[in-house]
Amino acid sequence: MSVPQSPKPAKLVAGLFMKEKSLIVPIVTELVEKIGSIDMVSPWLDFNYTGYYEPEMGSPLFRRVFAFKSLVEQSSLPEIKIITNKIEKKYSKNDKRLINIDPGYMLQERFVLATGKNYAHRIYIGMGIYADLTLIYQKGSFRKLSWTYPDYTEKSMLTYLEMVRNKYVADLKEIENRR
């Protein structure tokens, strides 16, 4: 018989992509005000894998990923996605987003993104939000899944996410040492 137990806290991550890089400062300022301080920042990454967002946002698109300092409860992901949706709406023109914010979290064994779109592999987690299992961590590295977005399979992205995972593991050890 399995015994229910509380899940470990998670490392909150937010991927932002946009055409206009100048939007990063006001949006990150707002994320920090609403969610908390930032711990790690990826370099700018090209986001030219599909044309899905080009009609709405234009091109070329660029991505930057942020990891937040404080660990969060896994159950807070729907609320965080609602916050990021409101920020996206605030930075829209003529009903078209200028930025897309993909919040998610890192655990030792997986990387999960939040989405408002249902699909076969996504699990409903409340407030109209689904959890998308994006990457799993096995045998010392991240493994993509058949549905993993192409930009999350790029070497530079995986290198950054590995650093976030390492920081998360260190954060957990620090919490344990304080007990």
How confident is the model at residue 177, as a pLDDT? 93
Which residues does residue 99 pair with via DSSP β-bridges, in sequence order?
18
How confident is the model at residue 37, as a pLDDT? 98
State the Cα–Cα distance between residues 59 and 126, nearest whole angstrom: 33
Q: Is the peptide bond before 60 cis (omega within 30 degrees of 0)?
A: yes
User: Which residues have CB under 8 Å from 22's CB, separation 6+?
Assistant: none
How confident is the model at residue 46, as a pLDDT? 80
Over residues 55-66, the mean pLDDT reads 94
State the Cα–Cα distance between residues 90 and 79, nearest whole angstrom: 17
To 10 degrees, what angle do helices 77-90 and 24-34 make?
Answer: 140
- The CATH code belonging to domain 10-178 is 3.30.70
Average pLDDT of the residues of the chain: 95
87-94 long-range contacts, CB within 8 A, separation 24+: 87/27, 87/30, 87/31, 87/34, 90/30, 91/23, 91/26, 91/27
Q: What percent of the chain has pLDDT over 90?
A: 91
Phi then psi dihedrals of residue 107, to 5 deg: -125, 175
Higher pLDDT, 79 or 17: 79
pLDDT score of 49 more than 80: no
Over residues 16-37, the mean pLDDT reads 96
> In terms of DSSP H, where are the helices of 5-154?
24-34, 54-57, 77-90
How confident is the model at residue 80, as a pLDDT? 98
Specify the range with the lowest mean pLDDT, choosing from 41-50, 88-97, 153-162. Answer: 41-50
Over residues 62-66, the mean pLDDT reads 95
